[in-house]
Amino acid sequence: MAVPLFNLAPDMTVSRLCFGSMTFGEQNSLGESFGLLDKAFDSGINFFDSAEMYPVPQRAETQGRSEEYLGRWITDRKIPRDAVVLATKVAGPSGQMAWIRGGPECLDAKNISEAIDNSLLRLQTDYVDLYQIHWPDRYVPMFGEIEYDPTRQYSSIPMEKQLYALTKAVESGKVRYIGLSNETPYGVMKFLQVADRIQGCPKIVSLQNSYSLLCRTFDSALAECCHHESIFLLAYSPLAMGILSGKYFMGEGGPADARLNLFRGRYQEGESRYNLSSPVARVATREYLQIAEKYGLHPVSMAIAFVLAHPLVASAVFGATKMCQLQEILNACQIKLRAEVIAEINQVHSRFPNPCL
């Protein structure tokens, strides 16, 4: 069965599964990446997501390889440019990644323009279909934080200047649509308010935030914003960095090459959000795994199918380092969860809400 499609914009149809490339160039070699991309494309996936900072864990030696591998695959396989939908992202302020534009310090016009041009070179294309702000150019609680601290706000680039830069990128033909990522309800609505004041500003069509059985914070406020403003969710980490596959509950804590084992101590953002030492996360995950077993479902397929059932989800952004993992994700498109499965999932969620943020 082919992967179903979704109209994300009037002239942009995306597959409901989006292949995230952040393992390309770190966990996956060029040849392995090509093999996974071949399988995905042949199965009906036309939507591919990357970022200028990928792969992760981020380091100077590998920065940009994920985009490079994706661009080389399209060129090598002679895939028509209009047969794929390419999404990538500009990195927000970060003092850690000094190798990206010196920080990057901010999202002013110079930084956005430079980031777009460099991504186009790595992707070997004249344009990207969806260009996203990877995280806000202002203080917000992110990556495991839940409480807002107003004393941590820093001088940031006004949204007007960010949107002017993105508008020029669209007018030049380098970008078709724009999206946000890791945003808050305030950020979504403020960007939309500011965009209304800028002549020719492109439509913000998507929000790429985390959403999974273990993280449903999108539903508390963002869902209302997106519903009324016709913005669709690109749900990343639908497997909660692989936790929902159940592999970390196997003997000795799961495979040595599983991401949370392979990069232990080197991937702070991931480990802070997907903390397997959290008793609540472990109990909740075990209960979801039991539901899958009870109804004869593969836990990966159940987790992905749950995300795809959300009325505001356009596509689930997944990662896969092995062919068997990719196949399990593809299988989810053939599943429609029964009402009793959803009811049991919601019962677990009511007792253990959002243990991973």
H helices present in 131-221, as ranges: 159-171, 185-195
pLDDT at position 247 is 95
Which of the residues 54, 177, 274, 288 is marked catalytic? 54
Which range, of 136-145, 226-235, 299-308, averages the lowest pLDDT?
136-145
1-48 per-position pLDDT tens digit: 689 999 999 999 999 999 999 999 999 999 999 999 999 999 999 999
As a whole number, the mean pLDDT across the chain is 95
- Mean pLDDT of the 126-133 span: 98
* DSSP class of 63: T
Residue 115 falls inside a structural domain: yes
pLDDT at position 134 is 98
Q: How confident is the model at residue 260 (pLDDT cuts 50, 70, 90)?
A: confident
pLDDT at position 154 is 85
Residue 269 pLDDT greater than 90, yes or no: no
What pTM was estimated for this model as a whole?
0.97
Q: How confident is the model at residue 68 (pLDDT cuts 50, 70, 90)?
A: very high
pLDDT at position 1 is 60
188-199 per-position pLDDT tens digit: 999 999 999 999
> Which residues make Cβ contacts (< 8 Å) with residue 267, sequence separation at least 6?
56, 57, 259, 260
Residue 213 falls inside a structural domain: yes
Residue 85 falls inside a structural domain: yes
Task: Please give the share of the chain, as a percent, with pLDDT higher than 70.
Answer: 99
54 carries an active-site annotation: yes
Residue 270 pLDDT greater than 80, yes or no: no
Residue 217 falls inside a structural domain: yes
Residue 339 falls inside a structural domain: yes
- Measured CA to CA, the distance from residue 71 to residue 67 in angstroms comes to 6
- Mean pLDDT of the 83-95 span: 95
> Which residues make Cβ contacts (< 8 Å) with residue 130, sequence separation at least 6?
8, 12, 85, 86, 87, 88, 175, 176, 177, 178, 179, 205, 206
Residue 28 falls inside a structural domain: yes
More confident residue, 255 or 82: 82
Range of the structural domain that residue 268 is part of:
5-351
The residue with tokens 């990207």 is 128
pLDDT at position 265 is 76
Residue 103 one-letter amino acid? G
Number of domains present in the structure of the chain: 1
Question: CATH no. for residue 274?
Answer: 3.20.20.100
More confident residue, 42 or 273: 42
Q: Is 98 exposed, middle or buried (0-12, 13-18, 19+ CB in 10 A)?
A: exposed
Residue 357 falls inside a structural domain: no
Residue 356 falls inside a structural domain: no
